[in-house]
Amino acid sequence: MDGRRFYLYVLRMCDTAGHQGWSFTLSSIRHAQHAAEAEFVVLPQWSSDLHLIHTIEGEGVLQIDGRDVEADPGVVVAVPVFKQCSWRKAAGARWTMINLHVRIVDPNDCALHERQLLPERFAPTELDRINRDLAKWHAALSGNDRWQAGLVAIEALSVVGSYLAHHGGVLPATEARLDGRLIELSAQLRDTAHLPFDIDALARHAGLGRSQCDRLFRATFGVSPKAYWTRHRLGMAQALLIETAMQIGDIADRLGFSDIYYFSRWFRHHSKVTASSFRQHGREL
């Protein structure tokens, strides 16, 4: 399926329930401005959602696995999902950006944005107009008008779909023929990210043996079942830290950790930053 046909397919099949077609979620449109004299805190991140960074002024740098990807006003940067990344700003330089944060889920209930169909850096046409629209939508979302929020989500879907149509990769030909047992297993891993990992129980539930489960899952998703579960567990932790006012101890409890100290060590190991620091600075992006 080429990019343009995919875009039209998403627009046609998208439904809010997410059970009969594609579902699209606009998580947020964040606006961040960092003054030239401001000290910029380097914040490691590992997100489970798609973040599209639109630089309005100045320059930021996203480091991915030791590589620098420049974010400037002429391009959009797609932050890779489930990769250790960190942002920095040049000393004495301004950086103003708008972050379009979305999720796209296919009819198999698998997150499409995890396929990394967009390049890390690309240059859309009419980017100035898009950025003006994003600023307008950011302002619209600051209120409590659900109807207005729905209209903004439709507009955001159009932008993301256009990016996929003109800059995105091609969906794998086997995407629609995923083994139903693996679809069930991936859903179970996401749904149990807040519970202790039990591969034997998960494999039995999917009708697979333990070794067969591991082999087939790696072949389909490129990672082990436990790595997939860990990714979503960390994504859930990051979302709760940034998007809610829950106490860190309550987040640890929600995710099934025995105590806050264990959760804090686990979060720092995977995110390379403390949970409190991630919460404090994560909202800036």
Best-predicted range by mean pLDDT among 10-19, 76-85, 109-118? 76-85
Amino acid making up residue 200? D
The enclosing H or E element of 235 equals: helix 225-243
Phi, psi of 224 (to 5 degrees): -75, 160
Q: Which domains does the chain have, with CATH numbers?
A: 3-167 (2.60.120.280), 178-282 (1.10.10.60)
What is the percent of the chain where pLDDT is above 70?
A: 83
Q: Provide the pLDDT for residue 282.
A: 66
Cβ pair 162, 154 in contact under 8 A: no
Prediction pTM value: 0.73
pLDDT in tens, 152-163: 888 998 898 889
Average of pLDDT values for 59-83? 89
What is the percent of the chain where pLDDT is above 90?
A: 25
Closest Cα partner for 184 from 236, 110, 255, 113?
Answer: 110
**Is the pLDDT higher at 19 or at 285?**
285
| C-beta atoms surrounding 82 within 10 Å | 18
Encoding tokens for residue 58? 């100045």
Least confident segment among 8-17, 62-71, 214-223, 244-253: 8-17
Cβ pair 285, 32 in contact under 8 A: yes
DSSP annotation of 120 reads: S
Cα-based angle 49, 156, 75 (whole degrees, multiple of 5): 75
CA 2 to chain centre: 23
Least confident segment among 155-159, 167-171, 261-265, 268-272: 167-171
Average of pLDDT values for 70-77? 94
- Residues recorded for the chain: 285
Asked whether residue 273 carries a pLDDT value surpassing 60, the answer given is: yes
pLDDT in tens, 182-192: 888 888 888 88
Q: Provide the pLDDT for residue 179.
A: 78
Confidence grade of residue 24 (pLDDT, cut at 50, 70, 90)? confident
In the chain, DSSP assigns E strands to: 23-34, 43-45, 50-58, 60-64, 67-71, 76-79, 85-89, 95-105, 121-122
d(CA 98, CA 101): 10
Cβ pair 14, 181 in contact under 8 A: no
Phi, psi of 107 (to 5 degrees): -60, -20
Q: Provide the pLDDT for residue 177.
A: 59
Closest Cα partner for 4 from 190, 181, 161?
Answer: 161
Phi, psi of 105 (to 5 degrees): -120, 135
d(CA 23, CA 170): 19
Asked whether residue 16 carries a pLDDT value surpassing 50, the answer given is: no
Closest Cα partner for 106 from 203, 158, 167, 172?
Answer: 172
The enclosing H or E element of 95 equals: strand 95-105
Confidence grade of residue 172 (pLDDT, cut at 50, 70, 90)? low
d(CA 219, CA 81): 19
